[in-house]
Structure 1
Amino acid sequence: MEEVGGRTLRVARWRLDEPSDHPPVLFFNGIGANIEAVAPLAEELDDRGFIMFDMPGTGESPDPTIPYTPFTMSWTAAQLLGRFGLDEVDVMGVSWGGAMAQHFALQHPGKTRKLVLVATTAGMLMVPGNPASFTKMANPRRYIDPEFMNEHFATLYGGVDADGAAHQKDSHIGRLKPPSPRGYMYQLLCMLGWTSAPVLPFMTKETLIMMGDDDQIVLPINGKMLKALIPNSRLHMVEGGGHLFLLTHADESIAELRNFLDAPEDETRQAA
């Protein structure tokens, strides 16, 4: 637990005190998700530091007293980096956290080296996903009821086949802890009316956009929109990947992340 910017946050750190040729990764999670859900990714990227935190009211972070905004949480994240002496990081976000990652990079360009946007959108100016997925996402049973998750996993997240579905469902639900009602509501309110679309053409950071072509929640067209809006960006489409392709297609995802994060600046621009 860390007291940061007037908030108490549960923070997870990997290898920040170990020497590395790469800057650490600052990670913003999806809505309602806790640190454990993404811990396997942090462990796989074992040649660099990694830092993330549970948003207020999710995981083990206490409920927020008042609502927050992308600006205040980006400021809080920057304060957290300063707490551990991190001057520059690679910023990565998934889904809801992808919006936070965009805002952080725009608000704190001096602290951001490269940007990775996974299964995300430019905010309110997006192409909506499968209505059935949004209906099931709004049901809190998806966090606490394995049977509900098993029954609706493909509709919710896409990108799983009959042979692998049971394993992926069990591994995902086992790492999730339901957010508090206030924590979940405040996360929804945080992005209400938010969009990055008008300012993305001014984004100067090298950006990797990763999308699953079977994502039922964030349709792949949203990744193409981000690619069109961000000048120095590249788009990687995960074939057969749903909303959770970082977990279901982990090997491909990790390989693409390493290729992008480790590439010199001129190589990244040529690939884009």
Structure 2
Amino acid sequence: MTATIEMVEAGGRSLRVAHWRLGEPSDHPPLLFFNGIGANIEAVSALAERLTERGFVMFDMPGTGESPDPSVPYNPATISWTATRVLDRLGLDEVDVMGISWGGAIAQQFALQHPGRTRRLVLVATTAGMPMVPGDPAILSKMVDPGRYADPDFMNELFLSLYGDMARRPGSKAEHIGRLTPPSPVGFAYQLLAMVGWSSLPALPLLDKEVLIMMGADDNLVAPINGRILAAAIRNSRLEIVEGGGHLFLLTHGDESVACLRAFLDAPDTEAERQRAA
């Protein structure tokens, strides 16, 4: 099923929003997804299309994909609030929340800031913010230059770095790069600026949600130890390490990732969740 894509006015911003299956009956809450830095909806639409049993919502951040450039800077708190306005426009109350990399930080902020709208939380290849343990400095330095998204040589290097062993699968590079739309310089800069000084670590022990943390064993951008830090700080969490997975194992190890997601999201509610719902 293809996505419904529309421009939505939310919190004073115009955002390109994609959603799947919201009008269909489902036994599962929709999944609100926050993308990685500079990434557009199409970059991970394959994941949304595989989770056929539930609704799925994500949007291009200001200045990425086809969302207009932001007129003023934003931070994780303001963009989380904006996400609630998107949910309001779509008629959604409680959702499962998921984020990858940069979007994993936003997902943490959303769950902490809006616990009443968050059922469960999935954090993929991400960190607790400023206290992160960095990956390969050479790869990190490449990631902060949005202009290089249009450079074929750079895209080849970045692909090999992010995808790990699965980069050698025939056709995988063309399949993913064809989905990428370079962010605008302003949009990319504001995404970088949003994380300056931000950390979830002091608040994570207060997070009263079931949390799945997924990390790639061969992630050269976000070292797997960052997942262990998150797991140590979040009391109701479980950590899954995807062997052979690079930073984008969510796509390259699709079967394994989707099975892990379903096992977590579809598990019966815990006693604490039932009490909160009562």
Distance 1:135 1:75, change over 3 A: same
Q: Which of 238, 243, 251 is the equivalent residue of 2:242?
A: 238
Q: Is 1:171 matched with 2:175?
A: yes
Q: SS at the partner of 2:193?
A: helix
Which 5+ residue runs of structure 1 have no aligned equivalent? none
> 1:151 and 1:201 mapped to 2: Cα distance?
38
Residue equivalent to 1:221: 225
Q: Which of 190, 201, 223 is the equivalent residue of 1:197?
A: 201
Is the Cα–Cα contact under 8 Å of residues 260 and 268 in structure 1 kept in the other structure?
A: no
> 2:132 and 2:167 mapped to 1: Cα distance?
30
Tell me by how many angstroms 1:209 deviates.
Answer: 0.1
Q: TM-score, normalised by structure 1?
A: 0.94
Residue equivalent to 2:4: none
Is the Cα–Cα contact under 8 Å of residues 98 and 104 in structure 2 kept in the other structure?
A: yes
Tell me by how many angstroms 1:139 deviates.
Answer: 3.3
Task: Please give the residue correspondences for 1:103-252 in structure 2 after superposition, counting only pairs within 5 Å.
Answer: 103-140=109-146, 142-154=148-160, 156-161=161-166, 163-164=168-169, 167-252=171-256
**Which letter maps to 2:68?**
P
Larger displacement relative to structure 2 (43-52 or 79-88)? 79-88
Which 5+ residue runs of structure 2 have no aligned equivalent? 1-6, 274-278
CA deviation digits over 1:115-167, x for unaligned, max 9? 0000000000110111111122123355223332224432x315225641x52
Q: Which of 31, 51, 72 is the equivalent residue of 1:25?
A: 31
Q: SS at the partner of 1:192?
A: coil
The percent identity for this pair of structures is 69
Distance 1:158 1:111, change over 3 A: same
Aligned residues: 267
> 1:209 and 1:111 mapped to 2: Cα distance?
19
CA deviation digits over 1:61-102, x for unaligned, max 9? 000000011111111101111111111000000000000000
> 1:33 and 1:162 mapped to 2: Cα distance?
18
Is the Cα–Cα contact under 8 Å of residues 123 and 195 in structure 1 kept in the other structure?
A: yes
Q: TM-score, normalised by structure 2?
A: 0.92
Task: Please give the residue correspondences for 1:55-66 in structure 2 after superposition, counting only pairs within 5 Å.
Answer: 55-66=61-72
Structure 1 vs Structure 2 CA RMSD: 1.7
Tell me by how many angstroms 1:171 deviates.
Answer: 1.6
